[in-house]
């Protein structure tokens, strides 16, 4: 038996012991890549997982690679990973000349010459890649390729185990035959050391709505003087939304500087979609779910009327006329998410001139704890397969809840699925959801009336009004309406 074979066997034995231990999944994966790099005698090793859209890869565990290289940006599947998705190993002998390398200059600065990549598969589905990097030009042998494939299979066992543990934590009605999705494991496999508690709370909110996130994923060069003279690293990247989020809640005095960097990023990288979440925006976002400094604020009562009862009814009639015209001959199903939508839903269906079925569903809402996820608590009773669904909303703001509800309804195989909302608070949007019918675009204020409540009051008002705030500048909690 050769020295290399003995080294491979010893490394695989150590990996098997680690998989059978009580260390975390993240620690197991980091041990696998470290042992693989050492056994192969290479510069480094990295495990990367596909995002939910299977368009990009993000580093999940790595060894021997600099922070600068890890944050260089995401690997685009279409540009460099066709062979991997075909489920075969890919070898790149020289990164300086191979067109499949996205970041050639950075790879050379990292002193990488050759790369070997093998797919990571769960039940035949490619969910990521395991990649090793060599300082010298290297033609990997069949034994080395097979060793790395074995390590990739061990990584898949860890991922599969984490997937089923997550499924077991779901409520009984949410369980089913799971399929691999990296989202539930994101926070487990990429444990973040957050700079501020507000970032951790935001990450929990994203986890609740099952929105995949990566903390401080990459750095952008804002100015160049031979080399990058100024860099900017956004706080979060949401792959499913292709959105970067920069938070300014740590130190209010830094807001001006962060605004400058965001503007500069948009100038130098116009393809990047980034949103600046200021302290005021963040506090309002948490207050929507009954958390944060504004959650317990007091109010005097109803303030200025934003939309009068005649205005509301006139617009509802107009929406019903548009919907009746568009759905002529299709017999739609109107679906509402309880509870704020019931006033709008009742009036809208009365004004329709086409036959329509009506049903409701209910979902859980963010409670601020960890280990929870949004779920359907009461589902639609009507069969939706092959039907034309019109999801009716009272108000849409962040879009996170709406995104979840749309995904749930799409899984019912409808013939079509559209959205009608009375109120659109577009300024608060995070998830880019399409709205087919909109009654009014409204400002970023806390609204009550016509189904919208404050601590279960004011739903019965026939108009939409702003809450009157005390001079303390605090705002009421807003945990009532659909996002």
Distance of CA 91 to the CA centre of its chain: 32
Interacting residues of 465 by C-beta distance below 8 A, sequence separation 6+? 302, 303, 304, 305, 306, 447, 448, 449, 458
Between vectors from CA 273 to CA 272 and to CA 274, what angle results, nearest 5°?
A: 110
| Strand arrangement of the beta sheet that strand 333-337 belongs to | 376-378, 357-363, 333-337, 388-396, 416-424, 437-441
Strands (E), 379-463: 388-396, 416-424, 437-441, 447-448
Counting runs of H as helices and runs of E as strands, what totals does the chain give?
Answer: 14, 21
- Beta bridge partners, 465, equal 305, 448
Instruction: Compute CA distances 162 → 26, 156, 159, whole Å.
Output: 10, 10, 5
Report the SS3 class of residue 85. Answer: helix
Beta bridge partner(s), residue 305: 465
> Is 51 annotated in the active site?
no
Q: How far apart are CA 473 and CA 454, in angstroms?
A: 17
- Which own/partner contact pairs does 5-8 have at CB distance under 8 Å and 24+ positions apart? 5/143, 7/39, 8/39, 8/143, 8/147
Residue tagged active-site, from 235, 347, 394, 397: 397
Bridging pattern class, strands 299-307 and 274-277: unpaired
Beta strands 214-215 and 236-238: pairing type? antiparallel
Q: How many Cβ atoms sit within 10 Å of the Cβ of residue 228?
A: 13
* Count of alpha carbons within 13 angstroms of residue 142, beta-carbon side: 0
Active site members: 397
């Amino acid at each position: 038996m050769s020295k290399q074979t003995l080294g491979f066997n010893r490394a695989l034995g150590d990996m098997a012991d680690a998989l059978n231990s009580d260390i975390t999944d993240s620690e197991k994966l980091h041990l696998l890549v470290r042992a693989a790099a050492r056994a192969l005698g290479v510069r480094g090793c990295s495990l990367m997982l596909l995002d939910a859209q299977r368009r990009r890869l993000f580093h999940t565990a790595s060894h021997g690679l600099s922070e600068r290289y890890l944050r260089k940006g995401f690997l685009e599947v279409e540009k460099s990973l066709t062979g991997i998705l075909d489920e075969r190993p890919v070898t790149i002998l020289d990164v300086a000349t191979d067109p499949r390398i996205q970041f050639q200059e950075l790879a050379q600065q990292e002193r990488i010459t050759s790369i070997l990549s093998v797919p990571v598969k769960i039940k035949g589905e490619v969910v990521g890649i395991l990649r090793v990097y060599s300082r010298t030009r290297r033609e990997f042998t069949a034994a080395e390729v097979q060793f790395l494939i074995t390590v990739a299979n061990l990584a898949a066992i860890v991922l599969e185990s984490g997937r089923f543990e997550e499924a077991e934590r779901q409520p009984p009605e949410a369980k089913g035959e799971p399929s691999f999705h990296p989202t539930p494991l994101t926070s487990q496999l990429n444990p973040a050391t957050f700079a501020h508690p507000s970032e951790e709370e935001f990450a929990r909110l994203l986890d609740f709505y099952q929105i995949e996130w990566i903390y401080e994923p990459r750095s952008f060069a804002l100015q160049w003087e031979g080399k990058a003279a100024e860099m900017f690293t956004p706080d979060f990247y949401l792959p499913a939304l292709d959105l970067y989020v920069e938070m300014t809640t740590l130190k209010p005095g830094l807001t001006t500087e962060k605004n400058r960097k965001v503007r500069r990023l948009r100038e130098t990288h116009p393809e990047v979609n980034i949103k600046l979440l200021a302290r005021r925006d963040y506090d309002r976002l948490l207050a929507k779910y009954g958390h944060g400094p504004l959650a317990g604020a007091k109010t005097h009562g109803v303030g200025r009327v934003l939309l009068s009862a005649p205005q509301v009814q006139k617009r509802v009639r107009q929406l019903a006329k548009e919907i009746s015209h568009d759905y002529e001959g299709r017999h739609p199903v109107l679906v509402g998410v309880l509870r704020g939508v019931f006033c709008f839903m009742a009036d809208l269906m009365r004004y329709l001139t086409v036959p329509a079925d009506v049903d409701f569903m209910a979902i859980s809402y963010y409670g601020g704890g960890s280990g929870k996820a949004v779920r359907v608590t009461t589902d639609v009773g009507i069969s939706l397969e092959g039907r034309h669904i019109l999801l009716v909303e009272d108000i849409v703001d962040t879009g996170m809840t709406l995104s979840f509800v749309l995904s749930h309804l799409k899984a019912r195989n409808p013939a079509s699925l559209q959205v009608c909302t009375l109120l659109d608070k577009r300024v608060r949007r995070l998830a880019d959801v399409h709205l087919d019918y909109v009654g009014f675009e409204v400002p970023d204020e806390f609204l009550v009336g016509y189904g919208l409540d404050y601590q279960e009051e004011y739903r019965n008002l026939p108009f939409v009004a702003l809450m009157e705030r005390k001079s303390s500048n605090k705002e009421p909690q807003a945990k009532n309406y659909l996002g």
